[in-house]
Amino acid sequence: MKRILLATFAMIGASAASAGEYCELDGAEMFYCTFNGGTKAVELCDAYWLDGDMASYGFFQRGGEIEKEITTDKASLIYDEGTGMGGLMSESVSFQAGGGYAYEVFWWAEQGDTELNGGINVLQNGDQIANLSCDPGSVRHEFTEFFGLIDAAQVSP
């Protein structure tokens, strides 16, 4: 049941995506949302255009410069599918950066609600030092697909 609900939310999220400013190729976007009334955005990419099994995180000004970029092998990513139990569904994936920093990108929704919420938790040495909330209605994700790609990278020789 959990997989069906998550797949439904993934399809809802993907249908109206206006992503593609950071990821180099269309269809590579695994997560997208905007911040500050649409002036900034984050995209997570399946960076299959790079050598190796890579993923990329990009936080940027829409139509402008990239403020934070992390490109890493998918096998190093940590994700959480959430429980899907109770009234809340959520998923997240974390990109590790130097200096003990991590950027956890997440979405969540109340069961039965079609609007997804999301954001970024910025962690330093495991402690949350910042939280950014996505603009309402801007969250789009393909985490079910992304988690499958991460799993495949973690078991590949």
pLDDT at residue 4 tops 50: no
Please say whether the dihedral angle defined by the alpha carbons of residues 88, 153, 11 and 39, taken in this order, is positive or negative: positive
Which of these, 59, 31, 15, lies nearest to 118 by C-alpha position? 31
Number of residues that this document lists for the chain: 157
Q: Residue 13 — pLDDT band, cuts 50, 70, 90?
A: very low
pTM, rounded to two decimals: 0.84
Nearby residues of 157 by Cβ (< 8 Å), 6 or more positions away: none
Over residues 100-145, the pLDDT tens digits come to 999 999 999 998 888 999 999 999 999 999 999 999 999 999 999 9
